[in-house]
Structure 1
Amino acid sequence: MATFLHTMVRITDPERSRAFYEALGFRFSRDMDIVRDGELEATNYFFSIGDSENVLELTYNHDGRTYEIGTAYGHIAVGVDDLDGALARLQREHGIEPERPPYRVTEGGSRICFVRDPDDYRIELIERRSH
């Protein structure tokens, strides 16, 4: 039987990324340094959300490299209880604006909205409460 463990994305500023994901409701769990041949190569930062432990791994490589997201990456989806509150908090604390105002894909469906994290990864916020 297979079990989903985590998703990993590469980051360029651990402090900004940690603050962003914590503002979305993730809990920092732990970090782990990767040392190869006596040199600090990378640090992995693990985050939990709800009852799911260590489902997000943010990897910071210490060699200063940059990344291109590419055309294959889509988004990470995160359920939030209060979409308007989450968006207001992201704007107030991180200056992050939504790509467009919240909307529904189908009539009567959940309200959703997309934002971008500090490394420009798309994050879909899905309101999980009924109105």
Structure 2
Amino acid sequence: MTNDVIHTALWVSDIESTLDFYVDGLGLEHNWEFTSDGVRNVYVGGDHGEFQFKSDVDGGGDAAVGPCGGFDHLAVGVDSTDETFERLVDHSDPPVATEPTTMAEIDRRVAFVEDPDGYVVELVERL
């Protein structure tokens, strides 16, 4: 048996803008979803893992949303950091934390943007 990362769960304030960002903008797959106890759970991802986005169906919950605690960022592997960054900026105009840059010491090209709730998303291209 091998261990894999299955998903990262995050509360979001607006599930539709979150799906617009991650599915339509970033290009991840909308894999599946369910609603339980008034919470809509939507899973998006690719071949190597998923993000679980949780949203209060009635909008009246007190779930903490946004950057907090020890959370730093989500990392998403992409074929081209520059192309993905440009598409995301054109589509969603997210706040940009770090423009595309090459990290030669780890042989990666990365950029950092914020999603609709302020979570930092790292775009990672293997060089």
Q: TM exceeds 0.5?
A: yes
Judging changes above 3 Å, is the alpha-carbon distance between structure 1 residues 107 and 67 closer, same or farther for their aligned structure 2 residues?
Answer: closer
Of residues 43, 48, 53, the one that matches 1:52 is 48
After superposing the two structures, state which structure 1 stretch, 8-17 or 56-65, moved more: 56-65
The one-letter code matched in structure 2 to 1:56 is F
CA contact under 8 A between 2:40 and 2:56: conserved in structure 1? yes
- Give the equivalent residue in structure 1 for 2:27: 25
| Partner Cα distance (1:71, 1:113) in 2 | 22
Q: TM-score, normalised by structure 2?
A: 0.83
Q: Give CA deviations for 1:54-90 in whole Å, capped at 9, x if unaligned.
A: x210000132535352141011101111111111111
Alpha-carbon deviation of 1:25?
Answer: 2.5
- Give the equivalent residue in structure 1 for 2:39: 42
The one-letter code matched in structure 1 to 2:45 is S
| Partner Cα distance (1:68, 1:4) in 2 | 22
| Partner Cα distance (1:108, 1:48) in 2 | 24
Q: Which has the larger radius of gyration?
A: 1
- Give the equivalent residue in structure 2 for 1:38: none
RMSD: 2.0
- Give the equivalent residue in structure 1 for 2:90: 92
* Unpaired stretches in structure 2, ≥5 consecutive residues: none
After superposing the two structures, state which structure 1 stretch, 102-111 or 26-35, moved more: 102-111
CA contact under 8 A between 1:32 and 1:44: conserved in structure 2? yes
The one-letter code matched in structure 1 to 2:11 is R
| Partner Cα distance (1:4, 1:108) in 2 | 21
Judging changes above 3 Å, is the alpha-carbon distance between structure 1 residues 106 and 52 closer, same or farther for their aligned structure 2 residues?
Answer: closer
- How many residue pairs get aligned? The number is 122
Secondary structure at the residue paired with 2:72? coil
After superposing the two structures, state which structure 1 stretch, 94-103 or 111-120, moved more: 94-103
- Give the equivalent residue in structure 2 for 1:9: 10
2:111 aligned with 1:113, yes or no? yes
